[in-house]
Amino acid sequence: MDFGGVIENIITRDEFTVEKAREILKDETIAVIGYGVQGPGQSLNLKDNGFNVIVGQRPGKTYEKAVADGWVPGETLFGIEEAAQRGTIVMCLLSDAAVMSVWPTIKPYLTPGKALYFSHGFAITWNDRTGVVPPKDIDVIMVAPKGSGTSLRRLFVEGRGLNSSYAVYQDATGRALDRTLALGIGIGSGYLFETTFQREATSDLTGERGSLMGAIQGLLLAQYEVLRENGHTPSEAFNETVEELTQSLMPLFAEKGMDWMYANCSTTAQRGALDWMGPFHDAIKPVVQKLYESVKSGNEAQISIDSNSKPDYRVGLEKELKALRESEMWRTAVTVRQLRPENDNK
C-alpha cells in the first residue's frame, strides 16, 4: 500500500479473514501469560473469535480478575508454568520487568516447534541486557497493537479494530508468518503493518517518551504555566490548553487530518498556527533526536531495567505519580470533567 510515495506491506481483515486465521491455528493451544495491560483484551478477543485460548497467571488480584472475566481455574486458567507447558503458542504479555523475572520459569517449556509471541520488541531487542534469549528451534513472533489492551477490547466489542504492527524474529517451523498474521487478526487488529522487533521497540519507546505522553505533558504544562503566571484562571488556562484540544480538536483531526484542521479554522487561528508551527518544530526536533539516540543506543532500556530492579521502585514511582496527579493542572481537570454537559444526567 502507498503511504505518500512509500510502499508498505499492509494486511487487512478482508484479505486475511478470521476464518482463515482459525484454520491456520485450529490445532494450536494459545497460552496467554500475564493478565495485566494487554492480556485481557487479547485473550478475550481470541476466545470470542473462536480460538483455543488458556491464560497463565499467578494467584492474586490479577488472577481473580481473570476469574471474574470468565476464565475457569483448571480448565482455561492455570499457573504460569502449566499454561506455558500446555501452550503451543506462548503469548508473553507480561510487563518488560516481569518478562525478565519470569523468563527462567517459562523458558524450559519452550520446546521445539512452539511459538513465543510478544506484543513489544523490548525483551528481544535488548536481550543482551534482559537475558531473554530464545531457543533456536522455536518461532519468535510479535503483534503489537497500537494502543492499550482496554482500547483493543472496546473497539473489538464495537465491531471495529485497533491497528497493529507485526514481525517475525525467528522462523524455525516455516509457519511463523502464518501464525503471526493469524494471531494478529485473531486479537482484533484493524489492519497489520510490517515492522521488526528492533524498529517496534525503538519507535515505541520514542513515542511514549515523546508525542504520546512525555512531550505532550511537557507542552501542556508549559502553556498552562505561562497562562497562569500571566493572570489567567485555572479554568481558563486548562480549557485553552487541554480541554479544547482533547474534546474538540483531537476528534476532528483524528478523523480528517491536521491539514483539514488548518483549512477549516478561523483566519486568526490559521495565520497563527502557520506562523508558529515552524518555531515549535525547530525547538522540539533536537530534543526528539536526542531522545531517539538515547533509545536506539539502549540507554533508555537500561534506565528502565535499572529503575524497575530497585527494591523501593514502587514507592518512588507512586511519589512521582502522586505529584503529577496533585498538580494544579490535573486537579483542575477533575473539576472540568465534572462540569462537562454529558454529566448533567448522571
For this structure, is 120 an active site residue? yes
- Reduce the DSSP state of residue 144 to 3 states and report it: strand
d(CA 29, CA 27): 7
Residue 147 has a pLDDT of 87
Scan for cell 454529566, then name that residue. 343
Residue 129 has a pLDDT of 93
Residue 2 has a pLDDT of 58
Residue 151, C-alpha cell as written in the block: 482500547
Specify the pairing of strand 139-145 against strand 162-170: antiparallel
- Reduce the DSSP state of residue 230 to 3 states and report it: coil
CA distances from 114 to 90, 110, 174, 251 (A): 8, 6, 12, 42
Residue 18, CB half-sphere, CA atoms under 13 Å: how many? Answer: 15
Among 28, 31, 57, 120, the active-site one is: 120
Residue 327 has a pLDDT of 96
CA distances from 255 to 10, 248, 250, 286 (A): 20, 12, 8, 29
* Residue closest to 336 by CA, chosen among 253, 240, 254, 249: 240
Residue 97 has a pLDDT of 86
- Which residues make Cβ contacts (< 8 Å) with residue 185, sequence separation at least 6? 11, 13, 16, 17, 18, 20, 21, 192
Specify the pairing of strand 30-33 against strand 53-56: parallel
- Which residues make Cβ contacts (< 8 Å) with residue 340, sequence separation at least 6? 247
d(CA 98, CA 257): 38
CA distances from 319 to 5, 98, 221, 290, 324 (A): 47, 21, 19, 27, 9
Residue 5 has a pLDDT of 73
**pLDDT by position in tens, the chain (length 346):** 656 677 778 899 999 999 999 999 999 999 999 999 899 999 999 999 999 999 999 999 999 999 999 999 999 999 999 999 999 999 999 988 899 999 999 999 999 999 999 999 999 999 999 999 999 999 999 999 998 899 999 999 999 999 999 999 999 999 999 999 999 999 999 899 999 999 999 999 999 999 999 999 999 999 999 999 999 999 999 999 999 999 999 999 999 999 999 999 999 999 999 999 999 999 999 999 999 999 999 999 999 999 988 889 889 999 999 999 999 999 999 999 999 887 655 5
Using alpha carbons only, how large is the chain's radius of gyration in Å? Answer: 22
H/E stretch holding 291 reads helix 267-296
DSSP annotation string for 34-89? --SSSHHHHHHHHHHTT--EEEE--SSHHHHHHHHTTPPBTTTEE-HHHHHHH-SE
